Chain A
Amino acid sequence: MEPFKTLKGIVTLLDLPDVDTDQIIPKQFLKRIERTGFGQFLFYDWRFIDGEGLKPDFEMNAPRYQGASILVARANFGCGSSREHAPWALLDYGFRCIIAPSFADIFYNNCFKNGILPVCLSESDVETLFTRVRQTPGYTLSVDLEKQEIRSDDGLRFAIEIDPFRRDCLQKGLDDIGLTVAQQDKIAQYEAKRAAIVGAAL
């Protein structure tokens, strides 16, 4: 996993609450057996007119947002299925940071496993970002995970609230599985103890 330290990038917008993972990556694209190559299918039904290219009225499609690496969205982003194809598609498209008033649990968790930083800001802070981004073409934000801060050139500052352990893993690009494997002895002890209690039921 690629470490996440700082990020300065163009911001794009998705102005809908309850964006579910079926929208982020529709199921017809879940048949691949790789982790890569999903970005082309991101928000497929919203971004594309089937067979005819990009939908002009989908905000993210506007030329001014191309190359964005930060997505600002509405409440309950990533609800629905547990498919990790959703963060894979967002990452592959180029997003490293997603800002929203709230996220669905499994999605939030899946982001960290893929080096994406999800940031919860208040509804009013998110609203401010929507207004400013729309006013200024090429609007960028700087995300500093070390200082736990998001800054804009026009003077906005937001604190990033994040679990310290998660921050640490993201900064170092740590592999969760490696960390748990390092606890092998404790797992073995637990298994021995539990076998004694539950026996065959385990």
Chain B
Amino acid sequence: MAKTLFEKIWEGHVVHEEAGKPSLIYIDRHLVHEVTSPQAFEGLRMAKRPVRQPALTFATMDHNVPTTDRSQPIRDQISAKQIETLTNNCRDFDITLYDLKSPHHGIVHVIGPELGLTLPGLTVVCGDSHTSTHGAFGALAFGIGTSEVEHVLATQCLQQSRPKTLLIEIAGERAQGVEAKDIILYIIGQIGTHGGSGSVIEYAGEAVRALSMEERMTVCNMSIEAGARAGLIAPDETTYAYLKGRDYAPDDYEAACKDWSTLPTDTGATFDKRFHFDITALAPQVTWGTNPGQVVSVDGRVPLPAEMADENARKSAARALEYMGLKENTPIEDIAIDHVFIGSCTNSRIEDLRRAAQVAKDKRVASSVNAMVVPGSFAVKQQAEAEGLDRIFKEAGFEWRESGCSMCLAMNPDSLKPGERCASTSNRNFEGRQGQGGRTHLVSPTMAAAAALAGHFVDVRE
């Protein structure tokens, strides 16, 4: 029978099934960070349980870490304690840790693929919703809560009920200046923040095939913002080429590729639901509200809540405009910004930085704007420095930081003050996400760089 990519991975990982109960699914890779793991390790200690497969778990500290000079001790004592707790837990339970001194340090969703830990056909989990990023490789990857982190540590399995399948086909060729970020923001705007609820999304079609590996990660990263459990893209030559030679890539690489080539969805396989989009006419996107679905083209205007058909949408839009300090019908390009953040697991990889640097080259950040670039990992930072991107950014007036989550969620000192407005390449524009009272507009890296120079949003296609 014809099967989808999801079905093949799922069925290959069922350890046990019983009618009326969730399936017991085996987990191949477990990524751990400092914020969602302390209580899980504590649970293990209390129950006197060991970690079943320490070699399949990998840890780093990314959410809470400073992105300034790392030779200094961490000033925030509670953050320091959380980071120290992870170090101790990894030591006690024999888990590989990429700490702040490691050359493999970085945001958990950036380093997994970078190291080749994320491979096609595997199941990957992490106590973090953006684990969906790893689906770009054709791995079934999803975020879990802390109780489940403990569950995986103890058993290397999870109890899961089978999600539904959703196919999103994307046709057309994107215009110059339109990025993967624009594609996924547009899709979320179309299907809504719970359009993918209860489902695993598979992205397919010519526009998806044309994406680089890093761009695929940007798309899958934001699947969770559409409410989906996970996002998937079938592995192909692009995938194999990216993974080749990575630290954890399989030794017999040819055999592995041959194996992986059996994963893509069979012709004739059925999905519970389908959407079809064409991106030929797509323009760069900018969010105007407080969820990623509240998005419009850069050449558009802030919408009028009264014109929305659905009552919930109307209420939510009115509230969002108030929070965002925006007037309806304002042209997006007239919105002035105070901050620019280029970073996060959505858009902090080398290609993102290259494109942003191209925009910033030989230009100056507007005097009213505070702009920073936070590479997703130490490796990205090193690569960027080898290419001289750091110099381009610094000469233009951007701050150049150490790797981490930084202002994506502002748990560390990088945050907005009340009322400040930010063009951000991250994935969430929720109220207070980048600092209490802060206002976030989600955009692509080139749009963020261009906004930094102009002091307001501009259409990078021009």
CA distance A200 to B116 in the complex (A): 13
Contact assessment for B20 and A102 in the assembled complex, using a CB-CB cutoff below 8 Å: no
Q: List 9 A-B contacts (CB under 8 A).
A: A32-B78, A35-B39, A45-B436, A81-B129, A177-B47, A181-B155, A186-B15, A200-B251, A201-B119
Give chain B interface residues in 143-158, CB to chain A under 8 Å: 143-148, 150-151, 154-157
Chain B residue contacts of A102, Cβ below 8 A: 194, 197
Contact assessment for B38 and A33 in the assembled complex, using a CB-CB cutoff below 8 Å: yes
Contact assessment for A33 and B81 in the assembled complex, using a CB-CB cutoff below 8 Å: yes
Residue of B whose beta carbon sits closest to that of A107: B145
CA distance A138 to B147 in the complex (A): 34
**Residue ranges of B at the interface with A (Cβ–Cβ < 8 Å):** 15-16, 20-22, 24, 26, 28, 35-36, 38-39, 42-43, 47, 49, 52-53, 56, 63-64, 76, 78-79, 81-82, 85, 119, 127-129, 143-148, 150-151, 154-157, 159, 161, 193-194, 197-198, 227, 229, 250-251, 256, 291, 312, 315-316, 319, 409-411, 428, 430-433, 436
Contact assessment for B194 and A76 in the assembled complex, using a CB-CB cutoff below 8 Å: yes
Contact assessment for A187 and B156 in the assembled complex, using a CB-CB cutoff below 8 Å: yes
For the A-B complex, the count of residue pairs with Cβ-Cβ distances under 8 Å equals 168
Contact assessment for A104 and B148 in the assembled complex, using a CB-CB cutoff below 8 Å: no
Partner of A17, one of B145, B197, B312, B428: B312
CA distance A20 to B289 in the complex (A): 14
Chain B residue contacts of A26, Cβ below 8 A: 432, 436
Chain A residue contacts of B312, Cβ below 8 A: 17, 74-75
Chain A residue contacts of B144, Cβ below 8 A: 82, 106
User: In the assembled complex, how far is the CB of residue B39 from the closest CB belonging to chain A, in whole angstroms?
Assistant: 5
Chain B residue contacts of A30, Cβ below 8 A: 35, 63, 411
Contact (A177, B26) CB under 8 Å given A31-B82, A106-B145: no
CA distance A199 to B159 in the complex (A): 24
Chain B residue contacts of A190, Cβ below 8 A: 15, 26
User: In the assembled complex, how far is the CB of residue B188 from the closest CB belonging to chain A, in whole angstroms?
Assistant: 12
Chain A residue contacts of B194, Cβ below 8 A: 75-76, 79, 102, 104
Task: Tell which of A4-12, A54-62, A108-116, A140-148 binds the partner.
Answer: A108-116
**Residue ranges of A at the interface with B (Cβ–Cβ < 8 Å):** 16-18, 20, 22-23, 26-28, 30-35, 45, 50, 74-76, 79-84, 87, 102, 104-106, 109-110, 113-114, 163-165, 176-177, 179-181, 183-184, 186-187, 190-191, 194, 200-202
Contact assessment for B410 and A27 in the assembled complex, using a CB-CB cutoff below 8 Å: yes
User: In the assembled complex, how far is the CB of residue A95 from the closest CB belonging to chain B, in whole angstroms?
Assistant: 17
Contact assessment for A113 and B145 in the assembled complex, using a CB-CB cutoff below 8 Å: yes
> Which 6 A/B pairs are nearest by Cβ-Cβ distance?
A33-B38, A113-B147, A84-B145, A110-B145, A82-B143, A84-B146
CA distance A76 to B188 in the complex (A): 14
Partner of B155, one of A104, A113, A187: A187
Chain A residue contacts of B20, Cβ below 8 A: 164-165
Contact assessment for B197 and A105 in the assembled complex, using a CB-CB cutoff below 8 Å: yes
Chain B residue contacts of A194, Cβ below 8 A: 26
Contact assessment for A31 and B64 in the assembled complex, using a CB-CB cutoff below 8 Å: yes
Partner of A33, one of B85, B159, B197, B229: B85
Chain A residue contacts of B146, Cβ below 8 A: 35, 83-84
- Among B35, B76, B143, which residue has the most Cβ atoms of chain A within 10 A? B35
Contact assessment for A22 and B49 in the assembled complex, using a CB-CB cutoff below 8 Å: no
Chain A residue contacts of B79, Cβ below 8 A: 31
User: In the assembled complex, how far is the CB of residue B307 from the closest CB belonging to chain A, in whole angstroms?
Assistant: 18
CA distance A183 to B24 in the complex (A): 9
Partner of B193, one of A16, A74, A76: A76
User: In the assembled complex, how far is the CB of residue B126 from the closest CB belonging to chain A, in whole angstroms?
Assistant: 8
Contact assessment for B16 and A18 in the assembled complex, using a CB-CB cutoff below 8 Å: no
CA distance A194 to B43 in the complex (A): 28
Chain A residue contacts of B151, Cβ below 8 A: 176-177, 180
CA distance A184 to B386 in the complex (A): 49
CA distance A163 to B22 in the complex (A): 9
CA distance A157 to B194 in the complex (A): 28
Chain B residue contacts of A35, Cβ below 8 A: 39, 42, 146
User: In the assembled complex, how far is the CB of residue A79 from the closest CB belonging to chain B, in whole angstroms?
Assistant: 6
Contact assessment for A180 and B49 in the assembled complex, using a CB-CB cutoff below 8 Å: no
User: In the assembled complex, how far is the CB of residue B387 from the closest CB belonging to chain A, in whole angstroms?
Assistant: 32
Partner of A82, one of B78, B145, B250: B145
CA distance A183 to B23 in the complex (A): 12
Chain A residue contacts of B76, Cβ below 8 A: 31
Contact assessment for B193 and A186 in the assembled complex, using a CB-CB cutoff below 8 Å: no
Partner of A27, one of B143, B197, B229, B411: B411
Partner of B21, one of A50, A84, A113, A165: A165
User: In the assembled complex, how far is the CB of residue B426 from the closest CB belonging to chain A, in whole angstroms?
Assistant: 12
Chain A residue contacts of B28, Cβ below 8 A: 202
Contact assessment for B227 and A76 in the assembled complex, using a CB-CB cutoff below 8 Å: yes
Chain A residue contacts of B227, Cβ below 8 A: 76, 79, 104-105
